[in-house]
Structure 1
């Protein structure tokens, strides 16, 4: 099954529909004319500082000229994606054209910076639309079943709250505090995601929590905000170029990555300014 991508309306409140989803260090280079049509995740490998972009067509990194360069051979539709540690990535999604893999990939892992992938668990059963790795624990939003799952080893999972969400973020210092972006606003859990309070304004599409005082959120129109108190209050800073947001990752308190309809942008000053790192050919949903 292929996914019907969760639509974000930039001119209205966040609408969420949970449905079934349908030559560089040995990397395989794509032609200069290769394009990326939709982005689902962003990360920096701490091993070498390289940017990795999880897309509808596979994993990419900017080449020397800035053109998208494929990492490995996979053309899977990568949905949830996170960098767990140096050269170790976690992801989920759907198989690429011609693949014999199940329609939902469950949790997959790469230990060679995205060149190859192996199934960890839940193949055929789960499509994680959001993944967070904090305190050696994996938090995943299972869009197939509409619930939060938590695992220490990526194999055995603890089912937590049922909810309708687009993105999740876990406190970098308190594993019991988990946030989820919902139609009503940012919902908060203080018991490890077993229960969530009703979402409160503002409505955010994506959130990323780098440090206790550096929680970032981007709303459906692309406006970036920062919270220094765990989401109790927010201060809007700027609007990221390129329209409707597609992904947000706070690498640290000052280093941010954001994907919008026309590209991947990077900030190294806490979101005050952004530089375009990669072009996106279309913001159309898939």
Structure 2
């Protein structure tokens, strides 16, 4: 079975203030994967906790929240709704097209799925899922898709697939999240040294930028978003070389970040799922989270 990041010892170089914060975020996310909360989730299906991914279906604009206990849709003023009947722990999640998503993580206890889901795909907006590759052998904690190519972070390495079946293993590094430029020519990763950049598809990375981000999202060439370990959202117009502070989200410690475009930004912190329609300058809560 493929080793998972939370089971690895944290290297000494990560034991800085920024590194401890990133490690805490990673461990918080992964501790949920080892706890059996299947029965609790079944009893309270309208409660969100442990968010690992966010996305918007371009078919209808519906917001999806990938959590430790299933995939949900959220609408402001309404209770979250579980999609389908699977309560898997969706550790990695991204929207790839209309009603089409890819995900990874862990099968729910008693659900008949493998402990490591590998890469799974849906063409009906999460109602049903089909295994595509690495079933039982991989647990992607970050997934990005650009121009038909899927980039994943799994087991401490960058893995890339053009067909959802075969995978090319590239650089190894200690990271928390990935982002790919809209043109597909630049790959970013969040590390304790800052955002690191690859211009060869994740085979090699340069030095960190210095400003530490926990999660990234890159919807347009000059609109890159990053959220720091304390919930401060920043924007970059030069691919992460420099950052401009936009706002601080309620709830502090972030759990996920997705920008649909330069104006529409989704973020999850310890207290809720939030949405911005003005480029990340202000946010409204879509749904609360419970710890």
Q: TM-score, normalised by structure 2?
A: 0.87
How far apart, CA to CA, are the structure 1 residues paired with 2:234 and 2:222? 12
The 1:65–1:223 alpha-carbon spacing in structure 2 relative to 1, beyond 3 Å, is closer
Decide which of 183, 187, 194 is 2:196's aligned counterpart. 187
Deviations 1:214-244 (A, max 9, x none): 0000000000000001111110110011221
Structure 1: give runs of 5+ residues left out of the alignment. Answer: 23-29
Deviations 1:163-185 (A, max 9, x none): 11100001101x23100001111
Question: What SS does the corresponding residue of 1:128 show, helix, strand or coil?
Answer: coil
| 1:139 CA drift (Å) | 0.5
How far apart, CA to CA, are the structure 2 residues paired with 1:14 and 1:39? 21
How far apart, CA to CA, are the structure 2 residues paired with 1:138 and 1:237? 29
Question: What SS does the corresponding residue of 2:141 show, helix, strand or coil?
Answer: strand
Cα RMSD, aligned residues only: 2.5
Deviations 1:22-73 (A, max 9, x none): 4xxxxxxx88873112100000000000000000000011258421110000
Decide which of 138, 156, 166 is 1:156's aligned counterpart. 166
Aligned to 1:47: 59
Task: Say if 1:188 and 1:198, in contact at 8 Å, map to a contact too.
Answer: yes
Residue 17 of structure 2 corresponds to residue 12 of structure 1: yes
| 1:279 CA drift (Å) | 1.1
Task: Say if 1:63 and 1:69, in contact at 8 Å, map to a contact too.
Answer: no
Task: Say if 1:263 and 1:277, in contact at 8 Å, map to a contact too.
Answer: yes
How far apart, CA to CA, are the structure 1 residues paired with 2:59 and 2:48? 25
Q: TM-score, normalised by structure 1?
A: 0.88
| 1:116 CA drift (Å) | 0.7
How far apart, CA to CA, are the structure 2 residues paired with 1:5 and 1:81? 21
Residue 91 of structure 2 corresponds to residue 82 of structure 1: no
Decide which of 201, 211, 220 is 1:202's aligned counterpart. 211
**Greater RCO structure (CA 8 Å; 6+ sep):** 1
Structure 2: give runs of 5+ residues left out of the alignment. Answer: 11-15, 35-41
Decide which of 105, 110, 119 is 1:93's aligned counterpart. 105
The 1:65–1:200 alpha-carbon spacing in structure 2 relative to 1, beyond 3 Å, is closer
Deviations 1:58-93 (A, max 9, x none): 001125842111000010000110000000000000
Aligned to 1:26: none
Task: Say if 2:56 and 2:63, in contact at 8 Å, map to a contact too.
Answer: yes
Residue 65 of structure 2 corresponds to residue 57 of structure 1: no
Higher helix share: 2
Aligned to 2:141: 129
- 1:196-235 counterparts in 2 under 5 A? 196-235=205-244
- 1:218-257 counterparts in 2 under 5 A? 218-257=227-266
| 1:12 CA drift (Å) | 3.5
How far apart, CA to CA, are the structure 2 residues paired with 1:113 and 1:136? 18
Question: What SS does the corresponding residue of 2:246 show, helix, strand or coil?
Answer: strand
How far apart, CA to CA, are the structure 2 residues paired with 1:229 and 1:73? 42
Task: Say if 1:67 and 1:279, in contact at 8 Å, map to a contact too.
Answer: no
- 1:247-286 counterparts in 2 under 5 A? 247-282=256-291
How far apart, CA to CA, are the structure 1 residues paired with 2:75 and 2:243? 36
How far apart, CA to CA, are the structure 2 residues paired with 1:152 and 1:4? 27
